[in-house]
Structure 1
Amino acid sequence: MNDLARRYELFGRVEAPGYRELTEGIAADPAILSLIAALPAPKQQPNLLFAAVRFLGGPVTAYPAFSSFVRQSWDAVRATMLARSTQTNEAARCAALLPALCLLDGPLALIEVGASAGLCLYPDRYGYRYPGRELGPQEGAFTCEVTGPAPLPDRLPEVVWRVGVDLNPLDVRDPDAVAWLRALVWPWQPERLANLERAVAVVAQDPPRLVRGDLNECVAGLVAEAPEEATVVVFHTAVLPYLSEAERERFAATMRALPCHWLANEGPARQPWVRLPYPPPADRAVMALVLDGRPLAFAGPHGQSLSWFA
């Protein structure tokens, strides 16, 4: 269980400092670690545990109250973790994707793999604030700090077709699904919750087509379905950690062979086929934004920043 303890400690120290008291408590608590260790490996994720506790109305502040709830309600916590997955749908990541999408000739046909509720399929419907540049509706616009020579767009893209694929797609018209999305948002980041609520309201007016299935089995067929007159873009953000190494390699090989663009916004370590111009920062988590195998930038995990490569 040492590896599991380190995983939790690292999650709180680097990725989610607001959960640090909980992750350090778990790492030093053999009883809680043994409960988590008995779950299937893909279900041992820290964020999945914390979201399950929040979804069930449990406390996620002081460790004594948290651990007491987990022990007393373990059957319900375990059932929630087994039935659900970490499907954080961060619409604000569109702020990081947008400059890359606007490098491409439109109109665009978007295919998102690992789409969750499909909130990131609507980069043309949201508002954005970059340094010296505003796009789209400004009430509740996504703010993104930018460094480096980023090609900030002067207009929103034209999207004529969109579809998502997910093992368990979520319907934004389903209150239970939206409650789960809320539970996945870290409680010390109210701006992310506000972003979620606004994005859900936008998408609920015109819900996307979401296909239930495995990305490796579905992506080629969806590319073939896209309208011929559109520029086809397959994209994903924070999806590769949920694939095995073999599944990631298979997906990468498939994407290289398909007649479309491939836009990835993933942790650098999950894209070993990409040669970054310099190492990612050691003191914070970042994503590597990569278009057709070419690294463009480091992006904040929730779309809050973009460090464009020279």
Structure 2
Amino acid sequence: MRPGATPAARSALAERYLRFARVEAEGHSPLYTDWARHVAGSARALAFLGDLQPDRRQPNLFFAALRLVGGLPRTEAAFDDILTREGDAIAAVMRARRTQTNEPGRCACLLPLLARLDGPLALIEVGASAGLCLLPDHYGYDWGRARLDPPGGSGAPVFPCRANARAPLPESYPDIVWRAGLDLSPPDLGDAGDVAWLEALVWPEQTDRLARLRQAVAVARQAPPPVVAGDLTRDLEALIAQAPADARLVVMHSAVLTYVSDPDARADFARLMRSRDLHWISNEAPGVFPDHAKRLTPREDMFLMALDGHPVAWTGPHGQSLDWL
């Protein structure tokens, strides 16, 4: 029996899916809430997941792969039928793909922080996927009490984001003069299969979010940011060396370091960030860098955005809210 198929591993998987239903999906995706609860109680689904490598068992990856292969089952019986008939194809997608949501809506949280930094700025995003978050100055934003219209015209998306009264909302865009991304396997926005995968990662009921993703993809095709294939634990320093010396370097990431499971590797990354003359923006679940969340009341349904290791805001995982500290 594989280690992943042991009763203890299946119990841990069930709890992981129940937590996903309770913390992440509930109130945002009724279908994913139902699917996750069903998986947690399904010996068939847990055995399927247990046969995959541990880093291939996350709910977003499983559900996106199932949708890509089999569509949108609305009942537990239909879900089980697809998993039975198409299990091999679903597993193949899960082994080949990653959860590269590259959610451009997170720019609504990143831009107010970028706008506070002295420019001109050079941006590096690690875990950049297709590089959509490298174009924060190409999109529009609606924070409720303030708005920035997209500089490129009506074709660019306008990202809505609820901002609290403390949030320093910008009246203009930061001056970004150079940008580059690093990703293990960057998607190609000219490849229909890669774009279909990015779309499958958007939760099924979030049609507005899907429409904005498609608009962001169209913007990125017009002004493609360079994204190079590489590992953030090995290849980041070479990319840092390419940044122009006359710009202020900013290294940023959102929902990326959570997939670096080795705590020592995370610590090495943090040490690298602190040892270089740059600004470091992290936007991750609070448990990824526990030092950033010290003395804060935990919010398990939110990301914690930090600048140079100092927390500045709680953010919605898809950029839907910005609660400045």
1:73 has 2:86 as partner: yes
Question: Does the 8 A contact of 2:70 with 2:82 survive in 1?
Answer: no
Aligned counterparts of 2:53 and 2:96: Cα–Cα separation in 1 = 12
For the residue of structure 1 that corresponds to 2:137, the secondary structure is: coil
Q: Report SS of the residue matched to 2:107.
A: helix
Counterpart for residue 24 of structure 1: 37
> Aligned residue for 1:280?
298
Counterpart-to-counterpart distance in 2, 1:194 and 1:280 = 32
Partner of 1:246: 264
Answering whether residue 231 of structure 2 is matched by residue 190 of structure 1, we say no
Unpaired segments of 5 or more residues in structure 2?
Answer: 1-9
Q: Distance between the aligned counterparts of 1:60 and 1:14, measured in 2?
A: 22
Hey, what's the Cα distance between the residues in 2 that align with 1:12 and 1:243?
A: 23
Give the aligned residue type for 1:74. G
Q: Deviations over 1:75-96 (max 9, x none)?
A: 1011110001111111010000
Matched, 1:295 2:311: yes
State the Cα distance separating 1:277 from its structure 2 match.
4.6
- Equivalence for 1:95: 108
**Is the 2:69–2:86 contact (alpha carbons within 8 Å) kept by the matching residues of 1?**
no
Please name the residue that 2:276 is paired with. 258
Q: CA deviation at 1:256?
A: 1.1
Distance apart, 1:252 and its partner CA: 1.0
- Is 1:170 matched up with 2:187? yes
- Of 67, 79, 82, the residue aligned with 1:54 is 67
Question: SS of 2:264's equivalent?
Answer: helix
Q: Distance in 1 between matches of 2:291 and 2:99?
A: 25
Instruction: Letter of the 1:261 partner, please give it.
Output: H
Q: Distance in 2 between matches of 1:302 and 1:92?
A: 6
Distance across 2 between alignment mates of 1:61 and 1:236 = 34
- Taking the aligned partners of 2:96 and 2:172, their CA distance within structure 1 comes to 41
- Contact in 2 for aligned 1:162/1:209 (Cα 8 Å): yes
Please tell me whether the aligned partners of residues 262 and 291 of structure 1 are also in contact (alpha carbons under 8 angstroms).
Answer: yes
Alignment coverage as a number of residue pairs: 307
Write the mapping of 1:113-152 to structure 2, written as runs, cut at 5 A. 113-137=126-150, 139=154, 140-152=157-169
- Note the C-alpha offset of 1:131: 2.7
Stretch deviating more after TM superposition (112-121 or 140-149): 140-149
C-alpha spacing 1:276/1:16, structure 2 compared with 1 (3 Å): same
Alignment partners' CA distance in 2, 1:57 and 1:136 = 38
Q: Which residue of 1 aligns with 2:222?
A: 205
1:307 is aligned to 2:323: yes
Equivalent pairs: percent with the same residue?
A: 48
Q: Distance in 2 between matches of 1:174 and 1:29?
A: 35
What TM-score does the superposition give when structure 2 sets the normalisation length? 0.91
Cα distance per residue 1:134-157 (max 9 Å; x no partner): 113284411111114111111011
Moved more, 176-185 or 212-221: 212-221
Deviation of the 1:129 alpha carbon: 0.9
Q: Displaced runs of 4+ in structure 1, greater than 3 A?
A: none
